[in-house]
Structure 1
Amino acid sequence: MRKLLFVVLLLTLTSFCNAQQPLVNKTDSTKIAQDSIKKTEFLKHIGNGFLPFNYFNLDLKYLIKFNQYEGVRSGLGGVTNNRFSKRYRIDGYLVYGFKDKEIKYKVGGGFRVNEATDTWINLAYVDDLQETGSSKFLTDKRFFTFFEPRLLNIDLFHKHITKSVSIQHKISNHLLSETQLATSKIDPTYYYNFLINNKTYSTFDLSTVKASLQWSPFSTYTTENDKLKETKDGFPKFTLQYTKAFKSILGSDFNFSKIDFRTVQQFKHKNDAITSITLVAGIAEGNTPITHLYHAYPNNIKKETILQRFSVAGLNSFETMYFNEFFSDRFSTLQLKHTFNRFNVSDRFKPQLVLISRYAVGNMSNISRHQGIQFNTLDKLYSESGFEINKLLFGFGLSFAYRYGGYHLPNFEDNIAFKFTFNISL
């Protein structure tokens, strides 16, 4: 009888333990899954350039940068997250340039008025620098890299104090819009006078309205956990932006208008190679100062020898075009890239070859208005071609480009750009 009771007790304990085991495994599996989701979200934040905290995401792009005017630029910035509020957000930054010894900052925020259309009204006050001749679309998604190659060599900036209010609105899943009203006080950091009707301006005020549209007709979307997620990044994509400056409104000095356009096409081949085509165009009419005209994103420093010019290649810049060499009030650029599949040399060594050709054309009316700065126009076709061998070691690679065509220089070495590349992603 005792033996029988012992066997029953043993079976009962075994059954009880076995019955509890799946629950433990399920709990562990749930915990592992939750940890995996948290890790994925954390890496996604880091990949977008944010270090998440409870109510605030630290913006990593403000931690440290370098350019020719500010030298080392360092500071802190960030934006509140959904834990703080799903309807309101506050963002800003504070940085210091160790070479120019000046503080720059932004204070901003926004509130959402419609969740279904992701409609936000944003306010901002910015006291900072901007590269002369650069253009940016309001609807561009945030783009973050731990290392911005082209920024190292930029030396032509203008100071601006800008107050703005903007409305961002999703017209449809495929069509995004943003409209901005802004007033700016512009002060070039270099010697420059803008001559209009026998009057010169070394500093000036602008009141502008910008309207931007981004159309991605071939992207596809699905709803997951009540959130819209892009499942296919479709091509081509189109972006259009109109800017209008009004004279005498809120003290504005000039009347001018600008239209900017960009389209990106990408072809994926069966061998995992990718061909991409990027066309950018812009036109400015009216009394437009050089601060708001166009360059073609040059990335070559003015040094005598190839090795002295050895620096870092940009992502979409003209590597043989010297900084501040060309400015235009109407221009167009075409960039062709063919990225081969990575060569499987070994498990750790998988370099990648990229073939690149770039072209630019443009012109400018009333060049004599812009005094104190010398530059050329792009009325002849600018051409460069070359290649990159990326990911040779720890994300580093090499780049070679050659300048030819209408702006080929007499000295052979001056047409060559030899640089290293840096590509890393999380």
Structure 2
Amino acid sequence: MLKHCLLFVIIFCFNLLNSQASFSSFKEITRDSVKKETFIKHLGNGYLPSKYFNFDLRYLIKFNQYEGIRTGIGGTTNENFSKKFKVNGYTVYGFRDDEFKFSLGGAFRLAPKTNTWLSLSYTDDLQETGSTKFLTDGRFFHFFEPRLLNIDLFHRHITKSIGIEHQLFDELNTKTEFSVSNINPTYQYSFNTNSTSLNNFRLSVAKMAFQWNPFSEFNLTENGVKETKQGYPKFTLQYSKSIKNVFKSDFNFSKIDFRTIHKIIVNKDSYSELTLVSGLAIGDTPITHLYHAYPNNITKETVMQRFSVAGLNSFETMYFNEFFSDKFTTIQAKHFFKPFNISERLKPQLVLISRFAIGDMESPEQHENISFKTLKKGYTESGFEINKLLFGFGLSFTYRYGGYHLPEFTDNLALKFTFNVTL
């Protein structure tokens, strides 16, 4: 325990010194007529800028049920360092699992006008089982990631990848990647295929993703095509293919993932948001690469024991590891009302929410030493949020009903904090 505390203090002090150095660098930059808004923009994206290197705030400190406290340092070179290539990386330490994780990568700019980059990376880290990431997703940063606090099902992966990103048209961005991964679940799990049980495995996966924003507006800058005005709906499509026996890969399966986001604007303070996400896995697919439908409820006896923080797009009444599917669709509808103008500092906002998920699994018996249900009866929850009551915190109330309604009334309830801060 003593060495853990000592290591935490060392990493924290190192982060603090680097933060102070980056603030000093920022002061030097502002003296050279760089606007303060630039710094705010970097900070809003999760970066603390220095002259040649931007420190990544995502790695400073986090918490989950497997690693406990997770802390470290990371970042990327910026355009002052080079406009033709960049280097990025991070290293973190988990106090509960007593393990270091890290990633190192780089990218080379092939064509500025089309935002064409060739990238390479090596990563040794954890990933949540059942989660899917779209290659074309931009960088997401939140000061506080509520759902992460309760996740306990991770798999360790060592992944080597090469990818290329290309702006095919102003409205259409593409990214292609090939990766080789060694996968080791951190929990008891075996996948049974052809009378053989695999506890850990190797995957060689080719991916191609498309981000199509047909109603957005774009400008051509010296750094390539930039989105200047967001339009809706937006569409994302990704195809993944795991190829057996290529670089000793153990599985042969395909995945198709789709997402669309639409926003109906009433006025600048009131709007509705609709999100549809769908996925399909075909072939022998381990549970690490299937779908969990974004649960965010911990398995505790009472409502108050389950009291935590609501996620942004998660099912608040769905318990972690309760459902897995090889085909699923979720639909989420939110309506944001105009904030109540109680005072200059108190302007809470009411949000009505309804979510639906449906899914199934072809051969659940292949997944051994793990218990779960599918979503074939359809899962429904509805509720509301009152956001920004105090210092960005609010309250969320959600109720579970329909095909997976539970016998005990209180087991269907989720009462949680919300957290919203905008720079």
After TM superposition, the score normalised by the length of structure 2 is 0.92
Q: Deviations over 1:354-382 (max 9, x none)?
A: 00000000000111100000000000110
Q: Deviations over 1:368-415 (max 9, x none)?
A: 100000000000110000000000000000000000000000000000
Which residue of the other structure, out of 373, 381, 384, is the alignment partner of 1:376? 373
Amino acid in structure 2 at the alignment position of 1:148: E
Q: Quote the residue 2:35 is aligned against.
A: 38
For 2:307 and 2:42, the matched residues in 1 are separated by 33
Q: Deviations over 1:210-255 (max 9, x none)?
A: 0000000000123467764423100000000000000001010010
CA offset at residue 269 of structure 1?
0.3
Report the secondary structure of 1:42's partner residue: helix
Which residue of the other structure, out of 96, 99, 104, is the alignment partner of 1:102? 99
CA offset at residue 37 of structure 1?
4.9
Amino acid in structure 2 at the alignment position of 1:181: F
The alignment status of 1:84 with 2:81, answered yes or no, reads yes
The alignment status of 1:222 with 2:219, answered yes or no, reads yes
Q: 1:226 to 1:158 in 2, by over 3 A?
A: closer
Q: Identical aligned pairs, as a percentage?
A: 62
Report the secondary structure of 1:44's partner residue: helix
Q: Quote the residue 2:246 is aligned against.
A: 249
The alignment status of 1:351 with 2:352, answered yes or no, reads no
Report the secondary structure of 2:267's partner residue: coil
Q: 1:205 to 1:228 in 2, by over 3 A?
A: closer
Q: How many residues align?
A: 396
Q: 1:344 to 1:328 in 2, by over 3 A?
A: same
Q: 1:367 to 1:80 in 2, by over 3 A?
A: same
Cα RMSD over matched residues? 1.6
Report the secondary structure of 1:116's partner residue: helix
Amino acid in structure 2 at the alignment position of 1:56: F
CA offset at residue 260 of structure 1?
0.1
Q: Quote the residue 2:125 is aligned against.
A: 128
Amino acid in structure 2 at the alignment position of 1:243: S
CA offset at residue 270 of structure 1?
3.5
Amino acid in structure 2 at the alignment position of 1:230: E
Taking the TM superposition and a 5 Å limit, the aligned residue runs for 1:85-234 are 85-223=82-220, 228-234=225-231
For 2:271 and 2:177, the matched residues in 1 are separated by 35
For 1:268 and 1:134, the matched residues in 2 are separated by 30
Report the secondary structure of 2:39's partner residue: helix
CA offset at residue 107 of structure 1?
0.7
Q: Quote the residue 1:365 is aligned against.
A: 362
Give runs of ≥4 in structure 1 deviating > 4 Å.
33-37, 223-228
Q: Deviations over 1:100-127 (max 9, x none)?
A: 0000000100101111101000000000
Q: Deviations over 1:267-288 (max 9, x none)?
A: 0003731100000000000010
Q: 1:144 to 1:90 in 2, by over 3 A?
A: same
Structure 1's unaligned 5+ residue stretches are 1-32
Q: Quote the residue 1:416 is aligned against.
A: 413
Amino acid in structure 2 at the alignment position of 1:214: Q
Taking the TM superposition and a 5 Å limit, the aligned residue runs for 1:195-344 are 195-223=192-220, 228-270=225-267, 272-344=269-341
CA offset at residue 89 of structure 1?
0.4
Report the secondary structure of 1:269's partner residue: strand
Q: Deviations over 1:173-196 (max 9, x none)?
A: 110000000000000000000000
Amino acid in structure 1 at the alignment position of 2:338: N
Q: 1:167 to 1:226 in 2, by over 3 A?
A: closer
For 2:115 and 2:105, the matched residues in 1 are separated by 18
For 2:88 and 2:104, the matched residues in 1 are separated by 6
After TM superposition, the score normalised by the length of structure 1 is 0.91
For 1:224 and 1:161, the matched residues in 2 are separated by 37
